[in-house]
Amino acid sequence: MQHADVLTGYKKYISLTRPHTLTAGFVPVFVGTAAVLPFGNVNFLMFFLMLTATILIQSATNMFNEYYDFKRGLDSADSVGIAGAIVRNGITPRRVLTFALTFYFIAALIGLYIAYETSWWLLVIGGISMAVGYLYTGGPVPISWTPFGEIFSGIFMGPVIILITFYIHLQELHMFPFVLSLPIMITIGLLNMFNNIRDRVKDAQSGRRTFVILVGKDTATQVVNFLLILCFAFAIIMAFTNLWPSLFLLLPLLSFKLYKKTMQLLRDGDSPVELIPAMAAMGKFNTIYGLLLSIGVLLYGLFIH
C-alpha cells in the first residue's frame, strides 16, 4: 500500500481543514451571491462574512471527522488520503477538537452578526446546520455511517447555504436561487460519495452502512454518472425555460470534458490509492461547474439590468 506523506510545520495544520473539500463551502456562497444580481444589489460585507462562516464550518466538520475517525480506530499511519493528522502528523486529538470547536465558535459569532442585521430566524437555521456538521461524524450514530450521508451534505451545503446567502442580501427568498441550488446539491453530495467509494472496504469492516456499501461500487458509479448528466440537463433546461431564459446559463456545459475524465478515473480505479485521482477530479468538477454556473448567473443578472 502507498503510504501518505508525513506533514510538518504549518502544512500539517492546513491539512486538518482538508483544503480539497472546501469547494463545498465556497461554491454555494458564490452561486447564492450571483443569484442576487437579477433582483438587487450585492452586499459585499455579507458576502465576505457568509463565505468566511461557511469555510470555517466546513473546516470544523472535517476536523470533527478527523477526531472521531481516530477515536473509533478508523485511521492508521498508513491511511490513504489527507486524513490522519493525528496518527501520522502528530497533532494531538485534544488539539484537533479544540481547533474544531474554535472554528465553530467564530462561525457562530459571525452568524450572530448576520442574524442581527437580517433575521433572527437565521440563528435557528444556522444552529441546525452546525449541529448536522457535528453529527455527521459525531454522536452515537454518525450520519456518515448511514446511507444518508450524501443526502444530508448535499442539502445543507447546497440549497440551505445558497438560500441563506441569497436571503442575507435582500431579506427575501425566491425560487430562482432554489432551482440553482439543485445541481450544486448533487455535486456536493457526490464529493462525499467519491470518498465513500474510496473507503468502502475499510468502512464495511468498521460497521458502516453507507449507500456505496449497500449497492456496491458498480451501481454507485452508475448513480454518479446519471446524477452528473442530470447537472448538464439542468443547465440546458434552465437556459431555455420561460422563467429565466438565458444562454449564459449554458456555461456549465464547458465542464463536460472534466466530467468525462472524472468518470473514467472512477471506473478505472479500485483500490483507495487508485481512487485518489478520481476524488481530486470530482472536487475540481464541483468547483469548475459551480464557478461556471455563478459566472453564467452573474452575466444574466448584468444583462437584464
Question: Could you tell me where the DSSP H helices lie in 72-92?
Answer: none
Tell me the pLDDT band of 140, cut-offs 50, 70 and 90: confident
Any idea which residue has 455535486 for its cell? 187
Angle between helices 217-240 and 272-304 (to 10 degrees): 10
CATH of domain 9-304: 1.10.600
- At residue 10, the pLDDT reads 61
Q: Is the pLDDT of residue 197 over 70?
A: yes
Q: Give dist(CA 185, CA 16) in Å, integer.
A: 24
Q: Give dist(CA 160, CA 32) in Å, integer.
A: 10
Q: Show the cell assigned to 146.
A: 448511514
Q: What is the average pLDDT value for the chain, to the nearest integer?
A: 89
**pTM of the predicted model, to two decimals?**
0.90
pLDDT digits (tens, 9 = 90+) for 199-223: 999 889 888 999 999 999 999 999 9
Q: Is the pLDDT of residue 8 over 60?
A: no
> DSSP character for 199?
T
Q: Give dist(CA 199, CA 248) in Å, integer.
A: 38
Q: In the chain, helix, strand, coil percent, each to 5? A: 75, 0, 25
pLDDT digits (tens, 9 = 90+) for 220-243: 999 999 999 999 999 999 888 866
Which residues have CB under 8 Å from 115's CB, separation 6+?
A: 121, 122, 123, 126
**DSSP letters spanning 161-195:** HHHHHHHHHHS---HHHHHHHHHHHHHHHHHHHHH
- At residue 2, the pLDDT reads 43
Total Cβ atoms within 10 A of residue 43 = 17
Which of 71, 76, 88, 110 minimizes the C-alpha distance to 16? 88
- At residue 187, the pLDDT reads 97
More confident residue, 5 or 277: 277
- At residue 74, the pLDDT reads 62
Least confident of 67-76, 101-110, 255-264, 274-283: 67-76
